[in-house]
Amino acid sequence: MPMLDMSLEELKRYQGCTPRADDFDVYWKRALAELEETPADDVWQESDFQVPNAICYDVFYTGVKGARIHAQVVVPSQVKKEYPALIQFHGYRGNCGQWITKLPYVAAGFIVAALDCRGQGGISEDIGGVKGNTMRGHIIRGLDGDVDNMLMRNIFLDTVQLARILFAMPSVDENKVGAFGVSQGGALAIALAALEPRIAKISTQYPFLSDYKRYLDMDLAKEASEELSDYFRLYDPLHEREKEIFERLSYIDIQNLASRIKGEVQFALTLMDNICPPSTQFAVYNKISTIKETQIFQNFGHEDLPGQEDRRLQFFIRDWIQVKATE
């Protein structure tokens, strides 16, 4: 087996090395209480992009701290009482993508929503009142201020708000709502399912935002590792605040949320990944206690995984959508 990190046997036992804040559960209870006090006030606008058999909407809603958040939602135009629904999350610094990427799921019989993360590459508003990309530093943004205002914490809550909008739709089967994504998108699917227990299926691929100390220890100078390294070099060169910093980061560390998941999980892991190292992926996977299936790609890194998109669609179709046999 090729090796970038630990052996596979060690990975299957690994539980993460980033300390968990003692008040972690209190923190997220307080965060969800803030969200409860935040009316979504969602506004639906038909997009200029339209196709036969579906209606494409730009949806704007209010997240915590008053930010207006954007999502794409595609609804099959055929009149039907209830559809299963999927929520799609994008990669780090990206956006909700092109409409066409949702259409295969709609064709299969799903309502699909895709979030623009605040402060990243879409048109959602960040908490500072600006639209668009802050380019980098999203993990550490807000780290030195009020821990209830860290950017990633607010993004996690935006995923929950979007899910609740879908659950409230009369055309959505509330027992069949799933979430998926790759890298940061995979992390957000995990976070959403942990914070909104009605999410019934989750498909994640080499999720980001896990076990931050491990990123720094491995020092791969990629994404999270580079941001954290720069932070310590600039603000804590002697690592005198290291324990405090990692405890704060633990609030937005998805490995600490993973045990809350109630839904069924499909998890694709890569053993040559130098963006989201294998140990950071397994730190999440090993804490998931619900029904889970895994695909381990031994020779692959942070890249397209052969057949995985097909497996994802089949995972969501299974038990949710009847596939008619060819006559």
Residues 102-160 have pLDDT tens digits of 999 999 999 999 999 998 999 999 877 545 556 577 888 888 888 999 999 999 999 99
Cβ burial of 3 (10 Å; 0-12, 13-18, 19+) is exposed
Query: For the whole model, what pTM was predicted?
Result: 0.95
- Residue-level pLDDT at 327: 46
Which of 48, 44, 41, 24 lies closest to 252 in space, CA to CA?
A: 24
Which of 154, 247, 147, 157 lies closest to 195 in space, CA to CA?
A: 157
- Residue-level pLDDT at 127: 78
Q: Starting from the edge strand earliest in sequence, which strands make up the sheet with 111-115, in order?
A: 43-46, 54-62, 68-76, 111-115, 83-89, 172-182, 201-205, 264-270, 292-297
Q: What is the pLDDT of residues 308-319, one digit of tens each?
A: 999 999 999 999
- Residue-level pLDDT at 307: 97
Give the DSSP letter of residue 282.
H
Cα gap 276→299, rounded to integer Å: 14
Q: Domains of the chain (ranges plus CATH)?
A: 8-317 (3.40.50.1820)
Residues of the chain with pLDDT under 70: 1-3, 79, 129-135, 221-224, 325-327
